[in-house]
């Protein structure tokens, strides 16, 4: 193995260890209570390695959020139905909305931390790859079922709600069940509404 290849393998291993350590710490601490020193010790790397790779604590938290979101993307593109291919578009849409609520619910403290740091808006803009995939998938599924609707704008409305302060507060207070049920109700109402002019 060449020196460069070994270095890339070490960097990839360190990245996985750092993100795994951060996730373990988040299970018992709020994001704002986790220091880079704690992450470094838990991951078995130097603090400088974390700063070099992620820039700062906000960069680390953002990378973890993106990693979690990409796991959902992989399930959608290559996993089993109803999230993956093989189920009716309507079932895939409802399953995907459920999955997004679950990701947001599991990461609400991360999202709140990113919002506080001023980094969250990028997560909810059309030029961010996670948002772009989520928006594109939702709008494609709605369009397949109801080409008469403005699927593009509806997808933005659904995703925009998930980043709002009141919704994140509700998730903290009540858990994801209420939001999951409501998102499903909204999606069904849209899909079942008669076309305009009828």
Same domain for 169 and 127: yes
Same domain for 190 and 130: yes
* Total of domains in the chain: 2
Residue 184 has pLDDT above 60, yes or no: yes
Structural tokens at position 71? 């796991």
How far apart are the C-alpha atoms of 158 and 137, rounded to whole Å?
12
pTM listed for this prediction: 0.74
Q: List all residues 6 or more positions away from 95 whose beta carbon is below 8 Å from its beta carbon.
A: 82, 83, 87
- Helical pair 36-43 and 3-26, crossing angle rounded to 10 deg: 120
Residue 180 has pLDDT above 70, yes or no: yes
How far apart are the C-alpha atoms of 6 and 8, rounded to whole Å?
5
Q: Where are the alpha helices (DSSP H) in 27-164?
A: 36-43, 47-54, 57-78, 89-106, 108-117, 120-123, 129-145, 151-162
Per-residue model confidence as pLDDT tens digits over 36-76:
999 999 999 999 999 999 998 888 888 888 887 888 899 99
Short-list 30, 3, 12, CA closest to 172: 30
% of the chain surpassing 70 pLDDT: 85
CATH, residue 38: 1.10.10
Q: List all residues 6 or more positions away from 144 whose beta carbon is below 8 Å from its beta carbon.
A: 89
Range of the domain at 147: 58-198
Q: Which of 40, 55, 70 is the last residue of a domain?
A: 55
Q: What is the mean pLDDT of residues 169-193?
A: 92
Question: Greater confidence, 147 or 123?
Answer: 147
Per-residue model confidence as pLDDT tens digits over 70-126:
888 999 999 999 999 999 999 999 999 999 998 888 777 676 665 555 444 344 444
Q: What is the mean pLDDT of residues 173-177?
A: 89
Question: Greater confidence, 102 or 146?
Answer: 146
Same domain for 42 and 132: no
Question: Greater confidence, 197 or 53?
Answer: 53
Looking at residue 123, its pLDDT comes to: 44
Same domain for 121 and 79: yes
Looking at residue 64, its pLDDT comes to: 86
Same domain for 48 and 3: yes
Per-residue model confidence as pLDDT tens digits over 9-43:
888 899 999 999 988 888 788 888 889 999 999 99
Same domain for 75 and 173: yes
């Amino acid at each position: 193995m060449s020196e460069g290849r070994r270095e890339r393998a070490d960097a990839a291993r360190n990245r996985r260890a750092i993100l795994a350590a951060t996730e373990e710490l988040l299970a018992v601490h709020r994001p704002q209570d986790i220091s880079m020193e704690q992450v470094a010790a838990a991951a078995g790397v130097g603090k400088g390695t974390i700063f070099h790779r992620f820039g700062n604590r906000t960069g680390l938290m953002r990378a973890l959020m993106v990693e979690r979101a990409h796991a959902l993307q992989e399930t959608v593109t290559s996993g089993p139905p109803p999230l993956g291919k093989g189920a009716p578009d309507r079932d895939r849409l409802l399953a995907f909305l459920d999955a997004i609520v679950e990701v947001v619910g599991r990461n609400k403290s991360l999202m709140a931390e990113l919002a506080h740091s001023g980094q969250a808006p990028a997560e909810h803009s059309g030029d961010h790859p996670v948002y772009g995939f989520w928006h594109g998938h939702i709008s494609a599924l709605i369009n397949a079922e109801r080409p008469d609707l403005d699927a593009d704008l509806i997808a933005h409305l659904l995703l925009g709600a998930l980043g709002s302060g009141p919704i994140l507060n509700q998730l903290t207070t009540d858990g994801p069940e209420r939001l999951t049920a409501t998102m499903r109700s909204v999606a069904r109402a849209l899909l079942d509404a008669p076309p305009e002019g009828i």
